[in-house]
Amino acid sequence: MGQKRVNTAREYLNKFANGKAMPALALKDNNTNIWEPVGEENLYATVNGVDGFVVTDDTGYILVLCDKNGIAKTIAQGLSDEEKSTIINSLKSDNIEEYHGKISLPV
């Protein structure tokens, strides 16, 4: 189920990210060592070095589609400020809300 949700989120983000979207996390640990599928909902968030993450591509931002717990399902990295803004506007027009918590990215 988690892999299906990741694939769906990736396909959706690729509509706006010119094929830059990559799969992320399909399972999440619920703190009892039982792994569960990532959530069905899609929220977006952006990340850069200021957020405490090491962004290996110094050209800009990582845009994430995550579930309500901040578990990243798909990411598009190396986005310019303009690309990021364009994608966010498209997501907002589809009523995708911004996630404001801590993001869990694949290592």
Span 83-95, mean pLDDT?
Answer: 96
Helix (H, G, I), strand (E, B) or coil at 91: helix
Q: Does any domain span residue 25?
A: yes
Q: Does any domain span residue 105?
A: no
- H helices present in the chain, as ranges: 2-17, 81-93
CA distance 48 to 26: 22
Amino acid at 45: A
What is the per-residue pLDDT across 53-86, written as a single tens digit (0 to 9) for each?
A: 444 455 678 999 999 999 999 999 888 889 999 9
| Cα distance between the two ends of the chain | 21
- The closest of 5, 4, 21 to 87, measured between CA atoms, is 21
Higher local confidence (pLDDT), 101 or 51 = 101
Tokens of 86: 């364009």
Q: Which domain holds residue 89?
A: 2-98
Looking only at Cα atoms, what is the longest distance across the chain? Answer: 41
Q: Does any domain span residue 104?
A: no
Q: Does any domain span residue 47?
A: yes
Amino acid at 41: E
Report how many domains make up the chain.
1
Q: Does any domain span residue 13?
A: yes
Q: Does any domain span residue 63?
A: yes
pLDDT for residue 107 is more than 70? no
